[in-house]
Structure formats: C-alpha cells, structure tokens
Amino acid sequence: MNERFEILESTLVSLLKSKKYSTLRDILVTMNPNDIAQIMGGLEEERIPLLFRLLPKELAAETFVEMDTDAQEMLIQGFSDTELKEIVDELYVDDAADLVEEMPANVVKRILKQATPEMRNSINQILRYPENSAGSIMTTEYVALRPDMTVGESLKQIRRKGVDKETIYTCYVTDNRTLIGVVSVKDLLLAPTDDVVISDIMLRNIISVTTQTDQEEVARMLSKYGFLAMPVVDSDNRMVGIVTFDDAMTVLQEEVTEDIEIMAGMTPSEDSYLKTTPWEMFKNRFPWLLLLMVSATFTGMIITSFESALAQVVVLTAFIPMLMGTGGNSGSQSSVTVIRALSLGELKFSDMGIVVWKELRTSLLCGIVLGVACFGKVYLVDNLLMGNPDVTMWIALVVSLALVVTVILAKLVGCVLPLVAKKLGFDPAVMASPFITTIVDALSLLIYFMFATMILHL
C-alpha cells in the first residue's frame, strides 16, 4: 500500500512540475481525498492552491476537510468569496463546525458569511456544546423517517434527500422529533415488500447518547455495539444529531494518544509529532520534569537523614538504584494496567476490593520470588564470585527484605491511586509511572534504611 502511495505521489509531483495540468486532473479525480490531502501536505506551500484548484468541487471539499489546519487557513486566505462559498456549501455541518473552531477570528467571519443561514444555525448549535461532548462532534445531517411511512416511501425519501447526509445506512424514526426507533437500509432493502410499514420493522430498543455525553464514552459505545452511527438526543429524548463511526475511530485514537502522553508525564500535544515545534514540546514536557525533580527532594532528604549510617556502610549505596528501579517498575506495571482497564470501562471504583486483592497476591508472588533471586544474586555473585567482602550475608538480607516489601507496597500504591483519582474526578492516567515512581522512590528508601537500621544495628 505504501509503495502504491509513493508511486502516486512522485507521479503527481512530476506532473505538477512539468505543468501537465489536464493529466494531473484526470489522475486526481480517481484518487481518495485522504491521499490527496497527504500529498498536498508534502508540497511546497505555493504549489498547494494550484493543485487544489484542479479538483472538482465535491472532491475539493472532501480533500479540504482532511488537510491540516495551517494548510486550510492558507487556502482560505487565498480564496475568493465565490471559491470559499463553493467549499463551504459542500462541507458537512460537523466538519464546518470543526473548521470554525480552529480558524482565527477573521477567517471564521468569512466562513460564516458564506454559509447558508441554515448551516450557520447548525454550526452555532454545535459550537454551543461543551468541548469533547457528543454535541460538539455530532453532525445534524441524518435521515429521519416517520413511523407510518412504508418501506417504498422511505427508500424514495432516501434517494431524494440522501446525497447531503453523512450516512444514509442507519435511519432514525422520529415522532414529533422524539426518537422512537431505528431502521437500517439493510432492513429496508431486505423487507419482503415495499408496502411494509416502518413501525413494524424498526428496532424500538434504541441505544443513544445525549449531547452532554463525553466523546470518549460515545466512541467506546460505538465500538462495543459495532454501530455505524450513534444517535444523539437532547434531555427530552428529541433527536438532534448523529456521531458517525469514522469520527468515533478518530476520537478513540486521539484519546489513546492523550492517555499515553499523560502516562509518560507530559501535557498532551495538539498536533502530530512532526508538526509540533521544540518550543511546544518544551512547554508540554518541562513543567512535569520540574515538578518531579522538586518532589525528588524528599528522596534526597531521606538519604541526608541517614547519611551517618551510609557513611558507616558505604556499600549500601550501591543497591539504592536497583531497589528504587525495581520498585518503580513494579508500581508502574500495576498502575498502567489499572489505568488501561479503567479507560476501557472494565473497572469501576467499586471494584477496589477485587483489584487490591488481585494485586496483593500478584505482588506477593513477584516480591518473594524477586527477593530470593536478589538474595542469591547479591550474596553469591557480589560476595563469593566477585569477592567483595563488604557484601555480607546480612547486607544481602537487608537488600532482599527491602525489595520484597517495596515490590508489594509499590504494586498496592500503583493500583489504588488510579482508582482514587477516577473517583475524585481526575484523569487516572496522571497516576502513571513518573508519579508512582516518585512516591515509590521515597517509600523504598525508607523501607531500606529501616531494615538496615534494624538488621545491621546502625
């Protein structure tokens, strides 16, 4: 596939350079708008409007939607009012609303001036919903049928009005704007005769979301049920729009990227990697590094307060990184597993007991086996094999015992914190490795020095 794309790309670029515009147009009309947008993304800026003007109206609008914000803005700035109107007329309402959200004020004014009053209303309606809600990503263009229509009449209506709808395959049956049923084009086509009445074949057990539902929840439900579109209703169960599966897939991908970035201790980035400037990356990463660096002061203070003990048995220092590292890894294993299960909707706060019991048994297994391995490694390898007389059996015991307790505590902290964060309304992803590691670092040192003081009588 990538090969095919690269051949297409180089052909188009060379046709563009040799100004073979009519051949170029012939190829462009057969192409997928996504691919065209991607190729435009790789062109020098001054070439984009030229290529764009070669596209027929509908394909131009579809391509426009797939382009990145900078290129869109550049194109609009160069458009005449007539050109802009042609594009805006072809846009689906949800795409137009996205555009209005992302463009600077002067561009927005031009876009809204070119939109029909009807579209302007729909855009404004969508923009009123909170960010990341079903209302803000829905489209108001769906096929609505009445319950008393026949299959034949319904198909006729779809044929008449379907061209402007984002999906025609799922139709919504409304009575006085209240959503009362769902019927698919498959049901319509496979109905025994054209005279069957919609209310006899429609599905009445409707799964829907409200305009306020979080977009991630909508996407997860679409994925769970395998729907083509999810109906969006207002608080009175009146149909206001649909969220289509392709938008849901995009939402899922974006939310996952966001989760992963937060889990690695970063503010989520707005753009793709190659579009993000070093300065933006600095702004996303620096505050977290600073916060974590400052909170590492605690570990420093713990070490300082045991300085005299360390000065007596300097070899203890050598095991600090291993202890803290293993503790941190154990903790982040648990926290990341629980965070993912939370974001897949597999866990809720009330499962806390089950989670803690499961992690406790897992951590006992991990802790004890690791402790034994550690004792063997420290005593046998460091003392006997490498002949370091400072590493006595007692030192090995201190290190191993500290390791066992650290692993167990790390796993418990790791599984509890994301659940608590969720309950308190924070994003559980914040509780992933950097955060857990900082807590576990301090914990592991305290445990280590406690065992050292007890066993070595420091």
Pick out residues in 277-296 that bind its own copies (CB under 8 A).
278-279, 281-282, 285-286, 288-290, 292-294, 296
Give the Cα separation of 182 and 184 in Å (integer).
7
Nearer to its own copies, 117 or 278 (CB): 278
Work out which of 114, 133, 174, 433 binds its own copies, going by CB under 8 A.
433
DSSP assignments along 60-72, one per residue: HHHHHHHS-HHHH
Nearer to its own copies, 29 or 81 (CB): 29
Amino acid at 39: I
Work out which of 43, 127, 197, 260 binds its own copies, going by CB under 8 A.
260
Q: Which stretch binds its own copies (CB under 8 A): 9-17, 108-116, 172-180, 330-338?
A: 330-338
Contacts (CB under 8 A) with its own copies, residues 72-91: none
Smallest gap from residue 93 Cβ to its own copies (A): 17
Q: Which stretch binds its own copies (CB under 8 A): 31-39, 42-50, 83-91, 231-239?
A: 31-39
Q: Which stretch binds its own copies (CB under 8 A): 11-19, 30-38, 40-48, 231-239?
A: 30-38
Crossing angle for the helix pair 278-295 and 433-456, to the nearest 10 degrees? 30
Smallest gap from residue 204 Cβ to its own copies (A): 6
DSSP E strands in 178-274: the ranges are 178-184, 209-210, 229-233, 239-244
Nearer to its own copies, 403 or 417 (CB): 403
| Under 8 Å between Cβ of 122 and 140 | yes
Work out which of 45, 70, 78, 311 binds its own copies, going by CB under 8 A.
311
Work out which of 17, 19, 30, 80 binds its own copies, going by CB under 8 A.
30
Give the Cα separation of 139 and 323 in Å (integer).
54
Q: Rule CB under 8 A: say whether 221 interacts with its own copies.
A: yes
> Which letter, b or e, does each residue of 347-377 get, where b requires 16 or more Cβ atoms within 10 Å of its Cβ?
beeeeeeebeebbeebbeebbeebbeebbee
Q: Rule CB under 8 A: say whether 337 interacts with its own copies.
A: yes
Pairing mode, if any, of strands 229-233 and 209-210? parallel
Q: Which stretch binds its own copies (CB under 8 A): 51-59, 91-99, 381-389, 417-425?
A: 381-389
- Torsion on CA atoms 388, 393, 396, 398, rounded to nearest 10: -130
Beta bridge partners of 204: none
Nearer to its own copies, 104 or 345 (CB): 345
Give the Cα separation of 140 and 218 in Å (integer).
16
Q: Which stretch binds its own copies (CB under 8 A): 72-80, 92-100, 112-120, 156-164?
A: 156-164
Copy the structure tokens of residue 227: 């729907």
Q: Phi/psi at 60 (nearest 5 deg)?
A: -60, -45
Q: Rule CB under 8 A: say whether 417 interacts with its own copies.
A: no
Give the Cα separation of 284 and 277 in Å (integer).
11
Q: Rule CB under 8 A: say whether 207 interacts with its own copies.
A: yes
Q: Rule CB under 8 A: say whether 121 interacts with its own copies.
A: no
Q: Which stretch binds its own copies (CB under 8 A): 39-47, 114-122, 342-350, 420-428?
A: 342-350
Q: Rule CB under 8 A: say whether 139 interacts with its own copies.
A: no
Nearer to its own copies, 75 or 415 (CB): 415
HSE (side-chain half, CA atoms, 13 Å) at 42: 12
Smallest gap from residue 158 Cβ to its own copies (A): 6
Work out which of 93, 107, 115, 222 binds its own copies, going by CB under 8 A.
222
Q: Which stretch binds its own copies (CB under 8 A): 9-17, 75-83, 92-100, 354-362?
A: 354-362
Q: Rule CB under 8 A: say whether 332 interacts with its own copies.
A: yes
Give the Cα separation of 138 and 144 in Å (integer).
15
Angle made by CA atoms 79, 80, 84, in degrees to the nearest 5: 65
Beta bridge partners of 150: 197
DSSP assignments along 402-450, one per residue: HHHHHHHHHHHHHHHHHHHHHHTTS-GGGGSHHHHHHHHHHHHHHHHHH
The number of residues making up the chain comes to 458
Residues that contact its own copies, how many (by CB under 8 A): 123
Work out which of 61, 71, 155, 395 binds its own copies, going by CB under 8 A.
155
